[in-house]
């Protein structure tokens, strides 16, 4: 298959491909997504094949307006409404009891469905033009860092998908926060673009972080290795005494905030501590660049503090088996 590179003006072409049952990579404010018509089970199945995604890992359904939510879910709690008012459109995904209209290939057979209303204008225009919601995981090969530019999508999926819509670099750079609002008490299943304290402020209560997986993971995605470059990665806590080890070793590439750049001979800066969002925005691109650098090992300097929670989560998962 030849993958077509579309521009953000090609909304109609992208929508037509999607309505014809093709899969198309699309920009969102978090990371690029690999979209299919969520109500077409055959189209959704193509996503799993193209990404090499485990069949038991469900997909997020993306909508362009709240009216589309009510067909997809059985029940919307008051808590969910408060969160939608505060954070939609944006980087928060909520897990609801699924309505029978949602194909089981989307939910991986679970009784719940994850839904997000993204803020990216190109993504919203394509959903509106197609008139159907899109199931879309991140548009990378399963296990690799998520794509934050169209070229990252092509590096992983060229020849395996119908098209990619180039909407430039993603603003946020890490995936949405996934929050289960299907039960009595909300739980965070994945920390991402929206912080835990922001959610707690809106709900005026403490929210449990349920992101670790273990024997009985609350979200299937917690079972799998994610975000990992091909080169082995080790995490180094910023300020750790070991931070000076190997700093001149040319076979190692350091991923670090700008403020630490002068400490390491071979390094890639992925953002600045003075602007926490910049580290999230630059992380995946830097991981991909590190893979291409020829280094035998990546050492990633991990910033400390709650405002870096999503970056910390991604780095520790990326380094999990090393």
Output 68 or 138, the one with its CB closest to ligand TXA: 138
Calpha distance 147→156 (Å, rounded): 9
Which parts of 139-273 are beta strand (E)? Answer: 163-166, 177-180, 187-190, 208-209, 233-237, 252-257, 267-271
- Total site size for ligand TXA, rule CB under 6 A: 27
- 3-class DSSP state for residue 46? helix
Report the residue number, 130 or 178, with the smaller CB distance to Mg ion: 178
Burial of 131 (0-12, 13-18, 19+ CB in 10 A): exposed
Distance CA 259, CA 53 (A): 37
Q: Which option in Mg ion, ligand TXA, none does residue 300 bind, with CB closer than 5 to 8 A by kind? A: none
Of 30, 37, 138, 219, which one interacts with Mg ion (CB under 5 A)? 138
Per partner kind, with CB cut-offs from 5 to 8 A, the member of ligand TXA, Mg ion, none near residue 170 is: none
Binding mask 173-202 for ligand TXA (x = CB under 6 A): --xx-x----------xx------------
316 sits in which H/E element = helix 309-318
Under rule CB under 6 A, residue 142 binds ligand TXA: no
Instruction: Specify whether the CB–CB gap between 55 and 108 falls below 8 A.
Output: yes
Residue 136 lies near ligand TXA (rule: CB under 6 A): yes
CB of residue 123 to ligand TXA, shortest distance in Å: 8
State the residues that interact with ligand TXA by CB under 6 A. Answer: 28, 30-31, 33, 57-60, 93, 95, 107, 110, 112-114, 116, 136-138, 175-176, 178, 189-190, 219-221
């Amino acid at each position: 298959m030849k993958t077509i590179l579309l521009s953000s003006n090609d909304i109609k072409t992208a929508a037509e491909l999607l309505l014809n049952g093709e899969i198309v990579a699309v920009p969102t404010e978090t990371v690029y997504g690999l979209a299919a018509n969520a109500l077409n089970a055959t189209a959704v199945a193509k996503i799993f094949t193209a990404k090499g995604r485990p069949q038991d890992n469900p997909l997020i359904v993306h909508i362009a307006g709240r009216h589309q939510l009510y067909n997809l879910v059985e029940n919307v709690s008051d808590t969910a409404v408060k969160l939608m008012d505060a954070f939609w459109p944006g980087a928060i995904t909520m897990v609801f009891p699924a309505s029978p209209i949602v194909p089981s290939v989307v939910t991986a057979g679970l009784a719940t469905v994850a839904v997000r209303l993204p803020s990216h204008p190109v993504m919203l225009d394509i959903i509106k033009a197609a008139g159907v919601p899109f199931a879309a995981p991140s548009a990378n090969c399963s296990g690799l860092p998520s794509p934050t530019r169209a070229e990252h999508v092509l590096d992983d999926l060229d020849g395996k998908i119908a098209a990619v819509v180039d909407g430039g670099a993603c603003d946020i750079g890490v995936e949405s926060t996934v929050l289960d609002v299907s039960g009595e008490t909300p739980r965070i299943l994945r920390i991402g673009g929206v912080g835990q304290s922001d959610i707690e402020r809106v709900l005026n209560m403490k929210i449990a972080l349920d992101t670790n997986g273990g024997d009985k993971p609350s979200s299937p995605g917690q079972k799998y290795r994610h975000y990992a470059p091909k080169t082995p990665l080790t995490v180094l806590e910023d300020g750790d005494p070991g931070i000076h080890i190997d700093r001149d070793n040319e076979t190692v590439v350091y991923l670090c905030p700008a403020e630490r750049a002068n400490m390491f001979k071979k390094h890639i800066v992925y953002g600045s501590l003075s602007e926490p969002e910049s580290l999230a925005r630059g992380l995946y691109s830097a991981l991909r660049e590190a893979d291409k650098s020829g280094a035998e090992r990546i050492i990633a300097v991990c910033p400390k503090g709650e405002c870096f929670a999503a970056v910390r989560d991604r780095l520790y998962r990326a380094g999990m088996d090393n």
